[in-house]
Structure 1
Amino acid sequence: MPRVSEAHLAARRRQIIDAARACFSRNGFHATSMQDVISEAGLSVGAFYRYFRSKEELISAIAEDVIGMIGEILDQVRTDEPVPPLAEAMSRVLRAVEPQLGPDGVFPMALQVWAESLRNPQLAEFVRRVYGTVRHHFDDLARRQIAAGHLPPGADPHAVGTVLFSLIPGYALQRVLLGEPDVDTYIAGLHTLLTTR
């Protein structure tokens, strides 16, 4: 029997994750069964369970996708040379996150992951770990801002990173719950806060 390529395995895994996202977006985690996802993916039960054994594994894979996307954005911003001023760096992060706030983006799924983590200790630990990693990226961003002279030399990078991290879900929650503000308004407010002395 010919060996299945890594590319084929990765494509099949992506097919399942995309099917799960579609089902979870339509019906939520609790109302979606594994059979719903299997049907959406168009796979046999055996083929499906080769990749995922439980709904929790699917949720974790989706959460990893969300975190991976945010991590890539932050990696680009925090390694820029020369180091851009903080307001500009955060503006870039927000503009990159903006397309992920609609119904087909990753943020509505992130909300479901957060809610599910309140009742699922295994997922809660996963969420703590991966969001801790994201917050660490913001600590690094703050550290570089301090080194570049964009923030006071005595500033605590962890304290600053913690606040910067909260700006992203704060913006996203307002957009999802209230339908506003638009990204330009939020960034204008952010520029005022970060550049007023």
Structure 2
Amino acid sequence: MNERKTTAAGPRRKPVQSRSWQTSLAIQDAFVQLLVESEYDQITIRDIVMVAGVALGSFYEYFTSKEELARTCVHFRSKRILKTLEQSRADAAGSPMVQGVERALQALVDMVMDDHARWGQHFLLERLHSPLAQYRADYARFTFQWKSLLAASSDWPTGRDAQRPALTLSMLVYGVLAHTALSDERTLDKDDLCQQLRLAVTSYLAAWP
């Protein structure tokens, strides 16, 4: 049976109320759950609403297509990375640089490793469905948080621009997170992974001119 289609460019409804928000999240969660078990092209909207436990019409209240649902899932996972960095920056404000950086690294590795399979799907969806402009905008936000974390450290040199090291940290950490999420979880040791990432980042910062 053919799935219903629409030509609308954006979501039909923004989930504002608590119940509506829960419905949207249930659809997103069901989609990611199915992605862990099946290939993207094999998943239908009917599969998604069946797992979510909602009516087919409810899907189209929030999403115009499976592709838009994919972009929404990427958006919310990216916001989780951003919020984790923001919280780490706030918690480490006024602390030595290494302490703040290590706090952020631990929080990010925990976040990915504790939900490994779903984060793997996030990075796959991002590659396939995230517009380049959105990807660049998200990446700039991540870099800004690293820059703010460095600049707020008690031992950061006064007046020194943190943009360049922040960009390098953002590239390095994001690359490791993506590779980790896409790797076989059985081959990974979270503590060792975090230690190796700390070593790479702190060594770079110590050697940065």
TM-score for the superposition, normalised by structure 1: 0.78
Question: How many Å separate the matches in 2 of 1:156 and 1:114?
Answer: 30
Instruction: Please give the secondary structure, in 1, of the residue aligned with 2:78.
Output: helix
Q: 1:163 — aligned with what?
A: 168
Closer, same or farther: CA 82–97 of 1 in aligned 2, 3 Å: closer
Instruction: Please give the secondary structure, in 1, of the residue aligned with 2:64.
Output: coil
Closer, same or farther: CA 129–173 of 1 in aligned 2, 3 Å: closer
Question: How many Å separate the matches in 2 of 1:94 and 1:107?
Answer: 16
Identity of counterpart residues, as a percentage?
A: 19
Shift of the alpha carbon at 1:59?
1.4
Q: 2:148 — aligned with what?
A: 140
Structural mapping, 1:53-64, within 5 Å: 53-64=64-75
Question: How many Å separate the matches in 2 of 1:159 and 1:190?
Answer: 13
Structure 1 residues not aligned, in runs of 5+: none
Question: How many Å separate the matches in 2 of 1:163 and 1:73?
Answer: 18
Q: 2:138 — aligned with what?
A: 130
TM-score for the superposition, normalised by structure 2: 0.75
Q: Is the contact made by 1:67 and 1:134 (CA closer than 8 Å) also made in structure 2? A: no
Q: Is the contact made by 1:60 and 1:126 (CA closer than 8 Å) also made in structure 2? A: no
Closer, same or farther: CA 153–139 of 1 in aligned 2, 3 Å: same
Q: Is the contact made by 2:169 and 2:201 (CA closer than 8 Å) also made in structure 1? A: no
RMSD: 2.8
Aligned positions, number: 187
Q: Is the contact made by 2:173 and 2:197 (CA closer than 8 Å) also made in structure 1? A: no
Q: Is the contact made by 1:29 and 1:112 (CA closer than 8 Å) also made in structure 2? A: no
Structural mapping, 1:1-197, within 5 Å: 6-80=17-91, 82-102=93-113, 104-105=115-116, 106-117=118-129, 123-145=131-153, 148=154, 150-153=155-158, 155-175=160-180, 176-177=182-183, 179-180=187-188, 181-195=192-206
* Bigger mean CA offset, 19-28 vs 187-196: 187-196
Letter in 2 for 1:83: G
Question: How many Å separate the matches in 1 of 2:87 and 2:206?
Answer: 22
Letter in 1 for 2:23: R
